[in-house]
Amino acid sequence: EVQLVESGGGLVQPGGSLRLSCAASGFPFRSYAMSWVRQAPGMGLEWVSTIGGSGSSTSYADSVKGRFTISRDNSKNTLFVQMTSLRAEDTAIYYCAKDLAGGSYNFDLWGRGTLVTVSS
């Protein structure tokens, strides 16, 4: 089955760290760029980060640059984001998303999301 399954969300204190994972199945994972997109409570969608298929190229939103690190393990079909120095405004549902094709940066497959809550 073609799917993405996120994990690793939870409650963390401001300034803390968290690592999210996204397990992919049903498609040639290494052939596609992957991204993280988040949605804060009551807000719209916000792109967070993208990584190329080989893992050598990455991009970040200014809001997370220097605090979040995206990576992937193509041998395990898994996408990661390491989040540090977390802030209240990072509270959101985090979705991993698959690129449609060829670096289109449109997202045709999404996970169900994992909730990150940053609060003391």
40 binds another protein (CB under 8 A): no
Closest CA to 26 of 105, 108, 102, 95: 108
106 binds another protein (CB under 8 A): yes
Candidate segments 14-22, 23-31, 79-87, 101-109, binder of another protein by CB under 8 A = 101-109
Q: If binding means CB under 8 A, how many residues of this protein chain bind another protein?
A: 23
Closest CA to 72 of 45, 47, 49, 46: 49
26 binds another protein (CB under 8 A): no
110 binds another protein (CB under 8 A): yes
Can you tell me the distance from the alpha carbon of 14 to that of 88, in angstroms, rounded to the nearest whole number? 6
52 binds another protein (CB under 8 A): no
Contact indicator for 15, 85 with CB cutoff of 8 Å: yes
Q: Which is nearer to another protein, 106 or 119 (CB)?
A: 106
Is the Cα dihedral 45, 46, 49, 51 positive or negative? positive
Tokens describing residue 21: 């994972």
Candidate segments 9-17, 42-50, 69-77, 81-89, binder of another protein by CB under 8 A = 42-50
25 binds another protein (CB under 8 A): no
Q: Which residues pair with 20 in a beta bridge?
A: 81
Residues lying near another protein in the complex (CB under 8 A) are found at: 35, 37, 44-47, 50, 59-62, 95, 97, 100, 104-108, 110-113
